[in-house]
Amino acid sequence: MDRYTLKLFYLKKKVLFPYCTLTVFVKPTGEAKAIKKGERLIAFTIRSRLDLLWNRKRLATLSEVIDIQTSGEAIKITLKGLSRVSMKKIIKYTYGEFEFINSQIIEPYDSLGDELRKKSQELIFLINVDESDKLIKLLNYIVDPAQMTDFISNYFIMDFRTRFRLYKEIDIRNRNQMLISELNILIHQMTKKRKK
């Protein structure tokens, strides 16, 4: 399998899912100032310093810088996740050598996404925000199961540990089931709050 090397962008206790965006604020150091709009980077989640030592076979996200804004004390960088990749090694803590992960082929109209879509819609109704209708319409447009699980994980799961667990799961069917379990917990919690 082919290996590639790109600049690393460390995310401290943040996860960038493929097909989603993440905005981070960084100090205006030389390395941060060198990042350009349109550049491709490897977004690598760090939970602790140990992740720097044991980084082989860890997942990272191939990403593209879609926006950069500089203000006095910080640089605001918006990244768009493109795909999960498998880290092979870190070179001088600046570059990452990686391989692409073979994508799992699942038919878009497989019943896999039906229950997940229903649970998401149920949660959206409970949250009842101004954008609820837009979110439901957007979910109906997503037919790729991998994209749907990543989208829902990104926008509905806020707990870092749970997000990271979902992110690390490569098998789409397993990720789908994990996500349904998490949505059931959220729906149960919100229903209890409403009854009080």
Q: At what angle do helices 172-195 and 112-127 cross, to 10 degrees?
A: 30
Which residue would you say has higher pLDDT here, 86 or 71? 86
Distance separating alpha carbons of residues 21 and 161, to the nearest angstrom? 19
Identify the helix (H) or strand (E) that includes residue 17: none
Which residue would you say has higher pLDDT here, 137 or 34? 34
Rounded to an integer, the average pLDDT of 61-73 is: 92
Give the pLDDT of residue 1: 67
Count CB atoms within 10 A of the CB of residue 164.
Answer: 17
Q: What are the tens digits of pLDDT across the range 72-122?
A: 789 999 999 999 999 998 899 899 999 999 877 666 555 667 888 888 888
Give the pLDDT of residue 112: 67
CATH 1.10.10.60 corresponds to the domain 4-100 = no
Two tokens, residue 11: 């995310």
Rounded to an integer, the average pLDDT of 40-68 is: 87
User: Is 70 exceeded by the pLDDT of residue 41?
Assistant: yes
> Do the Cβ atoms of 152 and 19 come closer than 8 Å?
no
Name 175's Cβ contacts closer than 8 Å, sequence gap at least 6. Answer: 149, 153, 166, 169
Give the pLDDT of residue 191: 87
Give the pLDDT of residue 67: 96
Give the pLDDT of residue 109: 52
Rounded to an integer, the average pLDDT of 56-84 is: 92
Distance separating alpha carbons of residues 6 and 81, to the nearest angstrom? 14
Q: What are the tens digits of pLDDT across the range 151-179?
A: 999 988 999 999 999 999 999 999 999 99
Mean pLDDT score of the chain, rounded to an integer? Answer: 87
> Do the Cβ atoms of 86 and 59 come closer than 8 Å?
yes
